[in-house]
Structures are given as C-alpha cells and as structure tokens.
Amino acid sequence: MERQELTVAEYLAHLRRHPLPAILSTECLAAMSNIEKQYGKMPAELTGLEVRLTEAVRHVDYILKINDTNIPAVEELWYELDYEEFAKGGSLEPCLFANTSHFFADGGKQEVLWEQMLPAFLGKRRAEKLRQPLEQVMAALPEGAYIKQMGTMNSRGELDIMRLVIWFPSWESVFPGVKALGWPGDREALQAALQPWQDMEGIAINLDLGEQGILPKIGVELFFSWRHPLLVDKLIAWLEAVKLCLPEKGQALRQWIRIRPDGNPVIQPSIVYFKLNYKAGKITGAKAYLAQTPCLLHHYFDAYDRPVYAQIQLQDQTNTLPAGEALRWLEECADNRVRKVQFIGSRTYEPLGRLLAACRALGIEAEVLLTGEENRTWLEKNIRAGVAAFLIEADTVETWLPTVKILRELQFPDVRVRWRMAPEMADRLQEISHLFAEDVGVKELILTGMRPGADGVFSHRELAKIAAFLWEYKKQATAGRDGKEQMQITVDPCFSALRAVLGGRDSTKNGNRGIARGCGAGRDHFCVNAGGRLTPCAYLDLDGEEASLAEYWESADRLQDLRTRDAQHARPSCAGCAYERRCLPCPVVAGKCYLPV
C-alpha cells in the first residue's frame, strides 16, 4: 500500500465534504476548527473518529496518528482529543497513546524502558510510582501477549494511572491472562459476556494500571482484517441486532465506508476496529473507530470521488476550444479538486500561455502532451509560462529524440515519454530503456500498448518477456546505483494486459485491481474535447450534456455504464482468461491481446 503524507487540515477538509449528521452535529464539525488551529499543519499518518454507537450523542473524539515523536524508543504516537476538550477551544491537551508494539517485539532493552521511555512519556514521578506494578504485569503476560500501547489521559484528570492496551495471541489466552495480570473482576462473567465475539480475528484488552496494580475498568477491542463494505456490513448488523448500535448510527457507518476515496491525494474512509465496554457482567456499550487513511485498503469502488486529472483537448482536425471555455473548465477543475490537467493539441494553440498561467494561479499541475514537432522557441515560451511537465508520446526514436534533447539543453526537469510499443519491440526494451535513461535523461518512461495509436497484437510470450525485464529493472532500482536517480519505468493503465501479467496468474494474489487496474476513462479522469463537450476520455467519442463537472462525474449515464459493466470492455477472447478479473482493457481497441485461457 502506497501511503502519502497528509496534514491534519487536509483530513479535516475531507471530513467536512462528507458530513454524517447522525455522527457529527454541525456544532461538532464547527468545533473541529479548534483542532485545525493547533494541529492543522501537522503531518499525520491517519486520522480517526471515536463514535459512541449506543448513545444518541452526535459528537466524536478525534484521533491523530503521528510518526515523529520525541519519546525515546517510540516511533508512533496517537493523540486522542476528547470532544469536551476541543469544543472549549484554546490550547488543547490530548490523551496520548504510545505505540510500544515494536519495542517489545524487538526485545527492547529494559534500561531504555525505565530510564528513558517511561520518564519522557509519563513524567518522572508517575513512572517511578508505576514501575513496580508495571513490572508485575510484564512478568505475568501470557506467552505471545504484549503491550501494544501505553496511554496517559491527563486531560481527563487521570494523573496517577496509565492505560495499557494488551494484545492477546488467541481468544483462549484472554481470560486466564487477565486473571494472571491481576484484574479484580469476575473472569467467568467476562468470558460469558464476550462469548458471542470469540470469532473475531484479533482482540486487545484495555486495562488501567495504578500504584496498587490493575484497576476494575476494562475495555475490549475487536479487530478484523475486513475492509470491504459488504463484509463490514455484517459486523454492523450484528451490533444492531444485540442492541449495541443505534439504527441511525449503523446507517451512518454504512454511509462512511461507502464514500468513494479521493484520488489525489488518496484518502479512504474505513472502520479499523470496534470496542466493547464491560461492567458488572454485561457489555454496556460499543464504540466504532473510523479512520481516514492515505492509501487504498480495499477495491470495492468503481471510481474516485472526483477525477484525479483532466484531459483538455485544445484543437482537433475540425474544432478549436475557445480560450474562455477552456478557462471555465480549469476553474471547474479547481473547484472539484482536480489537481492535474493534461493539454492535448496545443502546438498551434495561441492562448496556451494564458491557460498555463491560469493553472499556476489555481494550483493545478499543467502537463502538455507533445508531438515531437515543437521547436525550441515554442518550448522556451511555455516553460516561462509555467508548464509543470511535458509528456512526449511517440512510437519511434526519430519522433521524440530532437525534442527531448532540446528540453535537456534547457535543463527542464520533468520530461516523460509515453512509448507506444509494438509487439516486436519487446526484444529491444533493454536497449531502448538505456537510451531513454542514459543518453537523454528522461525522468519517466511509460510503456503503453493495446490502445488507440498503438499497433500490433501482443502474445503472452511478448508480455511475459516485458514483465521479466520490468521485474529485474525494479530490483536494480531498489538496490541503487551509486546514488544516481534512476529513470522510472511505469506501465500505462491502458496497457492493462501487461499490468495483469506483472501481477501473476493467481487472481487472489494479483495486485492489479480496483480503479487503477486498467482503463481509467470515467474512473480516474475525464476529457473536455475541442468541441467543448465532456467525454470519459480523449479517445472515447461519448459526448455528455451535463453543464458542470460535478453533475457529469456523479450522474452521467455514460460514466455509470463504463464503471459498472466491465463485460462491455472485454472482447470475446477475454472469456475464461486467467487474467480476466485483473484486466480492464481499453474499450476502443479490439483484437490486441491473446493471453492464454
């Protein structure tokens, strides 16, 4: 899973775009501005919401996962901001949870724990008072159990105790384990109350530790590897059935896990775990821990919430897009968080400089697709105007080499080449890639085939040969080459068959899945054609009537058809292919693939 580093402000902006009134009242959302004031610029690995499922309250506690800490031997720190804390404003004091999993799993030294970590985390006085009872707990842990987190809740006035989150290796180890740790409650009653949940994949017990040992309060965290909404639905339904989740809260959870992910930057809503509160022989309440993660955890969705990028065709053989119309669509892109635009047909388009300046003002990355016919003066002019990247699309060296050499002389840093491969070029890939990387200094080589403009039919042998080269190239890039940045070689989504072959014949292990597994038309991008009409892709002649980008992306029938009826993308030869589930070929091109069934 590829993760990005996002700020708390970016996560909060995402949350505000997807309000869930049953969970978050307008007052709670407004109060989160206090979190943004204090932590908005802070990078977070993820953020989360603690939702009380059995209570009618419509506020949450807010959680941040921070990688950078000043506590010795602690790599991750969790901030939990209670609603009462961030609603009051002013300087906020979070509850803190230190991730100690790695420390204990790696056999961390005891002197580091007692002399460095705990005094820095708890304060010297509390660390000294709790040392003896903590030593007793650590000595009593059953085999395979470990302290997953240690917590302090100073903002709640709990100044002399600490929270322990203890991971148990199995359901059977929990109940003798809590007895050995000194929990003063009724172990048999606890086991009976938790019996319906014994099939959960993971369990962690929350215990409070005071100077006299383990205190009566106990919480039970239930973990599962499921992220797919249809599977998580089953857990929500079970919580509702046993009266641990109000119907309106359950419906809000279902909505949350069905929010389409953002694509740039990636943010995906999910549910990480549930927590049960226990007291006097009964489960008294339940909480859900919702997360916003900067990576994709599952592939249920057919498209991103908004396009990742837009193609704007400025000219074709018969039409020229008016500059005013192009500027209007750039503003639409900015309003809909489309952060990249690719201009097509720009070589003789006079107002291109105005569009590049507008992109810079709107915070949009502008990429210009080149034909190889552009001269030095034209390139210099548009570099000054603010172009962010050039993409050269070519099928022969002669087409692109002069342009790339000019850009190298101009010291332009972001030059990418999309190479329309013919099948016979599979045997020359190493030679060609060396030319791109060493002789002309291309930043990225994008391999494409089986798309409009690419010739020939690829056999499985040819695709397998390309895949073998790419595996070896990646291995060498990982090993490094004298500190020199190596050219990236990527595979165009249109070349879905090659992506599928790279993933292997076993569809359960093949990672080429989800939105990005192939044709992205109407899934991760759209196009404004030279006639000013919306279409899923520059190569798909499916004009839309919608007047706005939001309306088009959310409700256009043509896009819904592309997203939900994958069978129409496939050709008859795809039926029964070992790669069929992990391949989504371009719907425009026919007869370009003969993979084995």
Which residues of 14-135 form beta strands (DSSP E)?
43-44, 46-52, 61-66, 77-81, 95-99
* Sequence spans of domains, the chain: 1-50+235-298, 94-223, 309-565
Does 111 score more than 70 pLDDT? yes
Q: Is 280 helix (H, G, I), strand (E, B) or coil?
A: coil
Band (pLDDT 50/70/90 cuts) for residue 568 is very low
- 573 pLDDT more than 70: no
Tens of pLDDT along 234-285? 999 999 999 999 999 999 999 999 999 999 999 999 999 999 999 999 999 9
pTM (whole model) above 0.85: yes
Q: 431 falls in which pLDDT band (50, 70, 90)?
A: confident
Domain 309-565: give its CATH code.
3.20.20.70
Kindly report whether the peptide bond that precedes residue 196 is cis, defined as omega within 30 degrees of 0. Answer: no
Please indicate whether residue 196 or residue 398 has the higher confidence score (pLDDT): 196
Lookup: tokens for 113? 């724990």
Is the pLDDT at 434 greater than 90? The verdict is no
How confident is the model over 152-169, as pLDDT tens digits? Answer: 999 999 999 999 999 999
pLDDT at position 334: 97
Report the distance separating Cα 159 and Cα 137, nearest Å. 20
* Mean pLDDT taken over the chain: 90
Cα–Cα distance between 492 and 111 in angstroms, integer? 52
Checking 374-380 for CB contacts under 8 A at 24+ apart, the result is 374/347, 374/403, 375/406, 376/406, 376/410, 378/347, 379/403, 379/406, 379/407, 379/410, 379/412, 380/410
Alpha-carbon span 347 to 315, nearest angstrom: 9
Confidence of residue 174 (pLDDT cuts 50, 70, 90): very high
pLDDT score, position 572: 59
Mean pLDDT of 408-413: 91
Strands 444-448 and 389-394: unpaired
Has residue 88 got a pLDDT over 90? Answer: yes
Q: Which amino acid is at 574?
A: C
More confident residue, 305 or 442: 305
Which stretch of DSSP H or E encloses residue 30? helix 26-39
Q: Give per-residue pLDDT as tens, 450-467.
A: 777 666 778 888 999 999
Residue 69 has pLDDT above 60, yes or no: yes
pLDDT > 70? residue 8? yes
Provide the pLDDT for residue 597.
Answer: 41
Residue 342's φ and ψ, nearest 5 degrees, are -110, 120
Listing DSSP states for 178-224 in one string gives HHHHT--S-HHHHHHHHGGGTT-SEEEEEEEEETTEEEEEEEEEEE-
